């Protein structure tokens, strides 16, 4: 019997572990368990769990459901997201499925005595036949856990002589979108708590009997076990949540960028796009308020929705969603929503609903800095605990291939999809690349600037004359005469009559409208259409309704893939093939780091590594002249082809004046991404005073034989050398092989003076350990040493910008660190576009938060130069 070994080792009258329900012959054959999972919730997949087990030694028990039992391995070091880590996994006896809900204390003297925490749980799926993989000792599978995700493998090792009865395996993470380079076990450190109770091992141990599972009671009667629901609504357990003194009355909603196709890849969540009114709602002390996207109080209009929101079991919360009227076929009708006259009432066969898709505040915690998937998890749990609120609906998401989700949405007659990047934060008022919307047909908002007379037996008016604002001018885009019903013709006709003016509000006279009536450009119409004509007019337009949640002055031409006013061409182009990162993803990266990055790059002359077609499968080649036959090339002087908000400045050079770019705002980063800039390098001075540097940069470039601890020690030594001179310094990874130590200074010395000073610092540094360091540029003399590159402090020299990507195979990023982060397991190429957001969510503040306070107090002085000889 599969559980004989498990049962022989335990005395179930003493241990709280479940014995496992007996299986019938049919169940044994089919692999279906007759036991109770105790609320473990397998869903439609095979159960996967990890239990953190403090026995004689702390280890992690890794379990996979197969054939009605949990195959089990003990992993001493625990799992790692780094594919370089190959952690021992010792095969142990199979466990009953009921063990998937076990958390508690195994008494002293019993097998496995110690505290057990349910650290992770979810489902798994084999990538090939599981039985064949087990037999061959090569089991490949995908995990869908709350903490562990993606593709993994268990590989059996050959037994040592005399240990043939032991099965030693290796647990290995495959390289995919969830993999990280370095610090792969950060998840163990950053998410130590139980996914069932929210407690740590220590808290479970202290709780004593209250946390012990009683194996002689069914799961539904485990009343002394702390219910998981208490944790489910605890926002303090969510990474990125922070205590808020007071919930604000309103937060500007984050907006989605129009895209031409739904993004692909597992790093995206796809939601249904609704045809309704965006609405943010607050719940506090049993009362709810509903606001439009431009902060109009619509509580009275949707009182029935507010009443049900107020009934949710929560102290305080702010939710984001869409108010719709849903028809019996599941589609939503914007025009029918407009005609709901009574607050919370019905109209025709439609039904007033509020689909909520985001949670911004909960019970005294702000969640704007939490990942989208964590915010949605808390929101779903909140709604599931509430009273029967038939009008408040959770807007679910689908992960996976966006194209398939979009195709299905269009087939069902829906508006389209909104795709949200996994791990993204909530950015009030921003329209960036983290949220993208794709519509099943063209649909846009336009300003009503006039109307024509009705013809035949029509009442009210004939057609609406439409436009959109461009640089303050209302430009004509066409007219719409279909999509109206009798009621909308009459009601809208009355409003148009009261808005009539004598002169046209359009910049140019619309064609064939000599007898048109002009109106104040105040009404906003939602219009569906098939396409744009070459003349910039609407083809086959159809009226959908008036928007009352957006002022006419905000209606500008909405173009696909425009971010910060920069139109992205070929946003799907893959820049990094191996991690499958596109131009759109690069824009999203800069959207997510702009707030942190901009202070360190604004107004500095920029040099670039451009890869317009992305990097090749082989390591990128960087030339100096922009040779067309190279995948990537170095670019200093900007041509007129660079779009967007980039300032051009003249810089005197040996061959005359050259034009450089400087970054002025977040849109500058988008413009650089649009032009295939994969590396941003900056001068050590800012415009207009570019002749006097304001920072010193020491690049520690190790030989390939130098280990990470030696490199970290070198950075600390440089910090100490600079500190002895009175200069406080900061450290960052380069995204390549080395580290940068940076000291901000007040501009004073010219470039030559700074270069000489930095040369003296480097030579002093090398003198401490000439067997480990060199300041000689010759590569032949760097063997086994760390090259201290001070030449970056010369005029025209540059260093990689903080948070810039690199043209490397893994899309690495240069990342500022705190000094105490130079720990074992980190590498200069640890952080990538794919995993940086995990770090950003964990940070409490800028790792270089004192940088701009330190700089003004630091000046290169004569005394400092003299002190170099005594350091």
As annotated, the active-site residues are 273
Classify residue 341 by burial, with Cβ atoms within 10 Å: 0-12, 13-18, 19+: exposed
Host H or E run for residue 292: strand 287-292
Q: How far is CA 758 from the centre of its chain?
A: 39
Contacts of residue 231, defined as CB under 8 A and 6 or more positions apart, other chains included, come to 193, 194, 196, 197, 198, 199, 237
Q: How far is CA 547 from the centre of its chain?
A: 31
| 421 close to 267: Cβ distance less than 8 angstroms | yes
**168: nearest Cα among 102, 86, 225, 110:** 86
Q: How many CB atoms lie within 10 A of CB 656?
A: 7
Residue 861 forms beta bridges with which residues?
none
Report the alpha-carbon distance of residue 853 to residue 844 in Å, rounded: 18
Q: Detail the DSSP E strand segments found in 611-758.
A: 622-623, 632-635, 646-653, 656-663, 677-682, 695-702, 730-733, 739-744
CA distances to 30, 465, 474, 589 from 504, rounded to whole Å, are 76, 11, 10, 44
Report yes or no: 519 and 501 within 8 Å, Cβ to Cβ.
yes
Tell me the CB-side half-sphere exposure of residue 480, using CA atoms within 13 A. Answer: 30
**Paired strand residues for 278:** 322
Main-chain phi, psi angles of 588, to 5 degrees: -60, -40
Contact yes or no for 305/289 (Cβ under 8 A): no
Q: How far apart are CA 837 and CA 860, in angstroms?
A: 37
Confirm if 125 and 142 have CB atoms less than 8 A apart. Answer: yes
**Residue corresponding to tokens 């650290």:** 119
What span, in angstroms and rounded, lies between the C-alpha atoms of 440 and 557? Answer: 18
Q: Is 105 in contact with 115 (CB distance < 8 Å)?
A: yes
Dihedral-angle region of residue 478 (phi above 0 means left; psi in -120 to 50 means alpha; beta otherwise): left
* Cα→Cα distances 580→456, 513, 809, 839, Å: 58, 51, 10, 20
Task: DSSP letter for 254, please.
Answer: P
* Token pair 């090939």 in the structure block, residue: 128
First-residue to last-residue Cα distance in the chain = 73
Q: How many CB atoms lie within 10 A of CB 103?
A: 25
Are 814 and 735 contacting, i.e. CB atoms less than 8 angstroms apart? yes
Rg (CA), the chain: 31
Query: How do 86-96 and 104-106 pair as beta strands?
Result: unpaired
Query: What would the two tokens of residue 596 be?
Result: 């942190």
Strand partners, 822: none
Q: Which two tokens stand for residue 705?
A: 């034989």
The single residue listed with the structure tokens 């007219």 is 479
């Amino acid at each position: 019997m599969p559980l004989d070994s498990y049962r022989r080792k335990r005395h179930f009258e003493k241990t709280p572990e479940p014995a496992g329900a007996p299986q019938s012959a049919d169940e044994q054959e089919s692999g279906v368990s007759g036991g109770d999972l105790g609320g473990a919730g397998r869903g439609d997949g095979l159960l996967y769990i990890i239990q953190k087990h403090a026995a004689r030694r702390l280890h992690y028990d890794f379990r996979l459901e197969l054939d009605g039992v949990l195959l089990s391995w003990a992993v001493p070091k625990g799992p790692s997201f780094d594919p370089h880590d190959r952690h021992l996994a010792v095969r142990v006896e199979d466990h009953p499925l009921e063990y998937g809900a076990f958390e508690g204390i195994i008494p002293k003297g019993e097998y496995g005595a110690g505290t057990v925490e349910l650290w992770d749980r979810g489902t798994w799926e084999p990538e090939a036949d599981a039985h064949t993989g087990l037999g061959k000792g090569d089991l490949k599978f995908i995990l869908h856990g709350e903490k562990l995700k993606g593709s993994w493998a268990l590989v059996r090792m050959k037994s040592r002589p005399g240990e043939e009865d032991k099965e030693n395996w290796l647990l290995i993470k495959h390289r995919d979108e969830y993999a990280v380079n370095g610090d792969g076990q950060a998840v163990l450190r950053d998410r130590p708590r139980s996914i069932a109770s929210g407690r740590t091992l220590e808290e479970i141990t202290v709780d004593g009997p209250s946390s012990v599972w009683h194996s002689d009671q069914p799961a539904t009667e485990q009343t002394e076990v702390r219910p998981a629901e208490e944790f489910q609504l605890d926002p303090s357990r969510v990474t990125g949540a922070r205590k808020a003194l007071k919930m604000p009355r309103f937060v500007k909603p984050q907006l989605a960028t129009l895209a031409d196709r739904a993004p692909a890849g597992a790093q995206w969540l796809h939601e249904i796009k609704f045809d309704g009114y965006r609405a943010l709602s607050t719940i506090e002390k049993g009362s709810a308020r509903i606001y439009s996207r431009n902060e109009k109080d619509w509580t009275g209009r949707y009182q029935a929705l507010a009443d049900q929101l107020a009934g949710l079991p929560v102290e305080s919360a702010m939710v984001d969603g869409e108010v719709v009227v849903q028809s019996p076929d599941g589609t939503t009708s914007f025009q029918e929503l407009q005609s709901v006259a009574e607050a919370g009432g019905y109209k025709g066969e439609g039904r007033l609903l509020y689909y909520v898709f985001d949670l911004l505040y909960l019970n005294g915690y702000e969640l704007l800095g939490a990942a989208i998937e964590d915010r949605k998890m808390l929101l779903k749990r909140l709604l599931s605990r509430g009273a029967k609120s038939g009008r408040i609906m959770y807007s679910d998401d689908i992960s996976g291939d966006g194209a398939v989700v979009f195709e299905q949405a269009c087939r069902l007659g829906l508006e389209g999809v909104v795709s949200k990047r996994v791990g993204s934060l909530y950015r009030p008022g921003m329209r960036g690349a983290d949220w993208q919307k794709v519509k099943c047909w063209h649909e846009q908002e336009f300003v009503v600037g006039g109307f024509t007379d009705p013809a035949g037996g029509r009442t009210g008016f004939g057609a609406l004359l439409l436009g959109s604002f461009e640089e303050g001018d209302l430009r004509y885009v066409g007219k719409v005469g279909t999509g109206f019903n009798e009621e909308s013709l009459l009601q809208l006709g009355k409003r148009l009559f009261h808005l009539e003016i004598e002169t046209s509000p359009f910049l140019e006279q619309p064609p064939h409208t000599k007898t048109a009536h002009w109106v104040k450009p105040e009404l906003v119409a939602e219009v569906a259409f098939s396409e744009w004509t070459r003349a910039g007019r609407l083809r086959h337009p159809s009226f959908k309704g008036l928007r009352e949640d957006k002022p006419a002055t905000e209606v500008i031409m909405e173009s696909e893939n425009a971010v910060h006013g920069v139109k992205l061409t070929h946003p799907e182009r893959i820049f990094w093939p191996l991690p499958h990162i596109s131009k759109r993803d690069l824009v999203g990266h800069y959207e997510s780091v702009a707030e942190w990055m901009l202070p360190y790059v604004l107004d500095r002359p920029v040099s670039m590594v451009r890869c317009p077609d992305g990097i090749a499968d082989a390591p990128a080649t960087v030339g100096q002249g922009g040779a067309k036959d190279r995948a990537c090339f170095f670019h200093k002087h900007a041509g007129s082809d660079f779009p967007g908000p980039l300032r051009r400045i003249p810089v005197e050079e040996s061959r005359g004046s050259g034009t450089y770019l400087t970054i002025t705002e977040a849109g500058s980063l988008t413009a650089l991404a649009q032009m295939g800039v994969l590396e941003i390098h900056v001068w050590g001075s800012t415009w207009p005073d570019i002749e006097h540097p304001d920072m010193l940069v020491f690049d520690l470039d190790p030989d390939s034989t130098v280990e990470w601890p030696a490199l970290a020690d070198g950075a600390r030594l440089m910090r100490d050398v600079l500190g002895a001179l009175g200069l406080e310094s900061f450290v960052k990874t380069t995204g390549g092989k080395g580290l940068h130590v940076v000291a901000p200074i007040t501009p004073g010395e010219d470039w030559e003076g700074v270069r000489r000073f930095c040369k003296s610092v480097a030579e002093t540094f090398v003198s401490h350990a000439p067997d480990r360091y060199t300041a000689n540029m010759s590569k032949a003399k760097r063997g086994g040493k760390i090259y201290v590159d001070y030449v970056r402090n010369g005029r025209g020299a540059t260093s990689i910008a903080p948070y810039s990507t690199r043209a490397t195979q893994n899309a690495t990023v240069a990342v500022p660190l705190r000094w105490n982060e130079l720990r074992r397991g980190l590498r200069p190429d640890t952080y990538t576009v794919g995993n940086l957001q995990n770090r950003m969510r964990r940070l409490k503040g800028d790792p270089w938060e004192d940088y701009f306070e330190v700089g003004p107090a630091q000046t290169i002085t004569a005394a400092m130069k003299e002190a170099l000889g005594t350091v």
